Structure 1
């Protein structure tokens, strides 16, 4: 089944830890920076979302700076058309794993412990150290996975 966005904003509610506005260029352009790779990239407000961006507050200090509430319980990206690759790759993960260059290496899908990887080394580490982890509680399990993968040089976003 293909991923279908529910506009809940959960995916972007902690992206402010990774994506920040570095500077503004003109009325609707922004240079953003990534805390994981120190790279920068330009984004532009979608023309149909400018009023929403300027007229509503950010969704909390940890949220992506471009996430706005469209209606109660419905949140939207105001730079959707020019959003970063990291955001384009999102498909409902509970854990995103980046390699040392900040590229997506793997993820654990939401709603379970299903793991998928594009990085061979990460797949081997997962099979050896994470696949059969017997840790009670989802939060504790995620912390354990994060500790293991961080020690191996990966950056874990959850």
Structure 2
């Protein structure tokens, strides 16, 4: 299944914990430290996103967000340094299934390219282990359809 970014900002909403700006080299160029790998690199704001970057500070509303994350429009969040982002950011492929509980809060996800659920919720984990984990459906589209059916029936919203 091909990964298609939903521009929700979920992936980068906690990246401020691992990406820190070490130095402002120019008004729109920064030296960052990528904490997990120790990588330091220069990151520049994409020219077409300059105004958006300067107009907002996403960290004020999302305290753990990557310092380059900005809300383009309601519900659409983008990286303003997308063209020069670190390698690990380039490799990131969000999720193939996102699960919301009855209140619309994120409760679990399945990473793109996997069939493994990540959730802190015990009930969802038990449901997954009991009804989904053992599914032996080779076709990925059919597997997703069946998983969606099971989880929707249990009251979850599948995105």
TM-score (structure 1 length as normaliser):
0.60
Distance 1:138 1:83 in 2: 34
TM-score (structure 2 length as normaliser):
0.60
Equivalent residue, structure 1, for 2:90: 88
Equivalent residue, structure 2, for 1:78: 80
Distance 2:26 2:55 in 1: 17
Larger Rg: 2
Give the C-alpha shift of residue 112 in structure 1.
4.9
CA offsets, 1:108-153, max 9 Å, x none?
71695169xxxxxxxxxxxxxxxxxxx93568xxxxxxxxxxxxxx
Equivalent residue, structure 2, for 1:113: 116
Deviating beyond 3 angstroms after TM superposition, the runs of 4 or more aligned structure 1 residues are 135-139
Equivalent residue, structure 1, for 2:39: 39
CA offsets, 1:58-80, max 9 Å, x none?
24110000000000110010000
Q: Does 1:64 align with 2:66?
A: yes
1:1-158 equivalence runs, <5 A: 1-59=1-59, 60-93=62-95, 109=111, 112-113=115-116, 136-137=122-123
Judging changes above 3 Å, is the alpha-carbon distance between structure 1 residues 14 and 138 closer, same or farther for their aligned structure 2 residues?
farther
Give the C-alpha shift of residue 19 in structure 1.
0.5
Judging changes above 3 Å, is the alpha-carbon distance between structure 1 residues 40 and 73 closer, same or farther for their aligned structure 2 residues?
same
Distance 1:46 1:28 in 2: 9
Report the 3-state secondary structure (helix = DSSP H, G, I; strand = E; otherwise coil) of the residue aligned with 1:61.
coil
Unpaired stretches in structure 2, ≥5 consecutive residues: 97-109, 126-159
Aligned residues: 108
